[in-house]
Amino acid sequence: MTVSKVCFIGDGTTFGCGDETLLGWPGRLCSRVRRGRSEFACYNLGIRLETSSDIAVRWQTEAGPRLGNGGALVFQFGLNDMAAVESRGIRVPMTESLASAEAMIGEASAWRPTLWISPLPVLPECHPMHSNKNSVFHYRNDRIAGLNEAYADLAEKLGVPYLDLYQRLAFEREWEEALVRGDGVHPDGEGYALVARQIDQWLPWRQWFEAPVRKAAMAR
């Protein structure tokens, strides 16, 4: 299987918020794939502070014209679902987040090859995030960890490959240091490079770009 176009759909960690190189992890992944593949294209459709509910509304409209009759999809979301807003509580309760994810990932995987990346851990003592609408968001790893486990179970049910980066990075010193250099929720460029390396080593991702095996000619 050889994929020539990929849409990366998600939130601020998909977009690469805080990355001084403006590449994020999708840009780094795609730069590796593009070497020797001049026809390869990737589209970063991440938007800062969006929840699964926000992404579910727009992903088809944005991915459809870009992928056309081919291509593949990579999703990452959920971090903002579990953020608490002062005086209003959790932005998207887990039951609603799972319902949005099931509908979205189910439709996506029926339409195109689809991979799902987990939400990422934040710095335990990270400062609240402020939106341009004067909302203040509070992030906690225990809520993110719970959603990650539920997402992993849902991905297995749907038969979609799921990369649990939460567990891989939760106690990773390199990741913590990248968050310290970032804003506590989003890492700096070195943190996104770490995420890219993890995904680049993931078999379901690598299989998208393997050259097709030529069948040996049958002996006459």
Give the CATH number for residue 168. 3.40.50.1110
> What end-to-end distance do the CA atoms of the chain give, in Å?
28
Mean pLDDT of 51-75: 96
pLDDT in tens, 107-145: 999 999 999 999 999 998 877 887 766 789 999 999 999
Residue 129 has a pLDDT of 81
User: pLDDT at residue 103 above 80?
Assistant: yes
- Look up tokens 């995420």; give the residue: 195
Does 220 reside within a domain? no
Does 60 reside within a domain? yes
Full residue range of the structural domain in which residue 108 is found: 5-206
DSSP letters spanning 128-196: PEE-TTS-EEE--HHHHHHHHHHHHHHHHHHT--EE-HHHHHTT-HHHHHHHHHTTSSS--HHHHHHHH
Does 212 reside within a domain? no
Residue 134 has a pLDDT of 73
Residue 132 has a pLDDT of 66
Instruction: Name the token pair of 157.
Output: 């049910």
Does 215 reside within a domain? no
The one-letter code for the residue type at 157 is K
